[in-house]
Amino acid sequence: MAGKPVLYYYNARGKMECIRWLLAAAGVEFEEKFMETSEDLEKLIKDGRLMFQQLPMVEIDGMTLVQSRAILNYIATKYDLYGKDAKERALIDMYTEGIIDLTDMMLRVVTCFPDQREAKISLAKDKAKSRYLPAYEQVLKSHRQDYLVGNRLTRVDIHLLEVLLYVEELDSSLLAPFPLLKALKSRISSLPNVKKFLQPGSQRKPPYDEKIIEKAKKIFKFQPS
């Protein structure tokens, strides 16, 4: 019997959080090994375990996987969260890419230079309410079903819930004009596995603060952008 997946990252959201979300939604228990210093990361690289010398990395089913999209695709396929056919997967991929774009835009709010933060926040809020949220609201309006694709839970519903919660952290009023998205958020949040992940004490990571950002800079040696 295969052991639990093991996730290698640092103790924050970053590019691993969507992987944590998807595993949790599938009801899969996982372990985490956190990078505490740049030396921890360098050891993984020297040991030849990071194919492209970057995290996230996940050990699962006897494989060592890197690249977040590849990891998510494998998890979604294994746990039947990737649609029933090629057409559904195409929609799931298309909707997911939009979510990634919005998530990356919001991530830049916390990784930018301090004097750029207000402009980055303004841009993220504007794009959320004028481009991304209306698009997903329209998808739900077009078919009047409970889920985005195929009228059953898929990975994109989980990804969307995650980003909707980030949008609310940015500005709690942004979801007000989108009743179908609010309903989907409530519906997915009520699923047993998701509800458990949303509870205090789960492996879900908290919002960024200055301490988390400074630690990430030291581990990954990155500069604001």
Please, which pLDDT band fits residue 224 given cuts at 50, 70 and 90? low
Tell me the C-alpha distance between 36 and 100, whole Å. Answer: 26
Percent over 90 (pLDDT), the chain:
86
pLDDT digits (tens, 9 = 90+) for 72-103: 999 999 999 999 999 999 999 999 999 999 99
Average pLDDT over residues 160-165: 98
With 0.85 as the threshold, say if the pTM is over it: yes
